[in-house]
Structure 1
Amino acid sequence: MAASIGFRPTRDDERILKEAARPGESTSETLRRALRLLDHERWLMQFRADAERLANENLNDEADAW
């Protein structure tokens, strides 16, 4: 089921959209690209947190799985 989202941009939102838009890109395309970038940023934050948590992990101390 496709969701339809209503959006009433503020002046600041309009400025950001205008500055962020690529030539020939619609507002919807700009927003889609921004959402993908946000999703990627969240993925990177989780990646960094996992890497920090596992920084001292030594796989040589683990039993072989086979």
Structure 2
Amino acid sequence: MTHRTHTHDTPRDAVDAADAADARRQSFGRLPERIRPEDTVETKPATRPDPARDTYHADEWLIRYCG
């Protein structure tokens, strides 16, 4: 099998390349709009801890596993 090296464009190849370049520009010719870093972060107001829900018992594992 021989490998042919393409050294010049024929008029048909030039037209195909121009069409392909135009199609690429229409799809990818522009960068997407810039997203500001402020728009990528969501902030929520902090709430006070709820003692009924957020209690920590250091010996809870004893009650669960040894009781």
Say whether the fold is shared (TM-score over 0.5): no
Higher helix share: 1
